[in-house]
Homo-oligomer: A and B are copies of this chain.
Amino acid sequence: MHENDESPLTRKLAAFVALSDAELSVLERLHQRRRSFKVGTDLVHQGQSDRAAYILSEGWVCSYKIQPDGTRQIVDFQIPGDFLGLRSVLLRTSDHSFEPVVDIRAAEVLAADLLEAFAQTPRLATAILWAASRDEAMVVEHLVGLGRRDADARMAHFLLELGSRLALVGMGGRAGYDCPLTQYHLADALGLSAVHVNRVLRQLRERGLVTFRNGRVTFDDYAALIDLADFDPAYLDQSGPLLKW
């Protein structure tokens, strides 16, 4: 597909375990069934229906819950290399829905294939479970942000986290990254109103910290932003744990 056939997931996992050729080819085989989804077509991932997971290879997705009163809370965003609905393959739980933020391409993974891959290559299984556990840690961090950070710090923390995640799959760095999210997405994720998101972004820009504009996030003062957000990327990188295996 691309010049090198390295998928974002491969790239992400490789950052934490050195995968053998055999493991790489098993991983590759998981990417067989490619599918596309357009914005607007909800990936209805409601429990009972299908028991497939996806590996996102291109584009962004958000997972969310709708409240009875109509408001929406975005639980997390998925970027290339992330799993969609991994849990609902292994167990039969799927408490939230998925919606593409932009047109996406993803590989469908059947439960059987995944379990077989796990059986064949335990190290790969460990790596994937590590990724899943990292996702959980992000949800927890998100919860902490909603509970105990004000709007500025929340936004700063969010933009930094996204930057770190994207850097892992080669889609961003200290300078910034391309970001297809609208201010409404930010609002629904951060528990703010869209109007206030706009004000917060303006303020961060005017303070010379970060610029969110035209689908691009630019870090103007990385260090100061980290300071404002009290950002500690330990929960993302966890560098070390897997290397020992």
Contact = CB atoms under 8 A, between A and B. Distances in A.
A2 interface: no
Contacts of A129: 90-91
B143 A93 contact: no
Interface residues of A, number: 41
Contact of A191 (B67, B69, B147): B147
A238 B147 contact: no
A92 B133 CA distance: 9
Interface string A126-146: 100110011011011111101
Copies of this polypeptide in the complex: 2
B191 A148 contact: yes
A6 interface: no
A137 B95 contact: yes
13 contacts: A47-B241, A65-B140, A67-B149, A67-B230, A87-B133, A91-B126, A91-B241, A93-B134, A93-B241, A95-B140, A95-B141, A95-B235, A139-B139
Contacts of A73: 143-144, 147-148
A184 to B, nearest CB: 14
A159 B169 CA distance: 42
A71 interface: yes
Contacts of A95: 137, 140-141, 235
Contacts of A230: 67-69
A96 interface: yes
B136 A65 contact: no
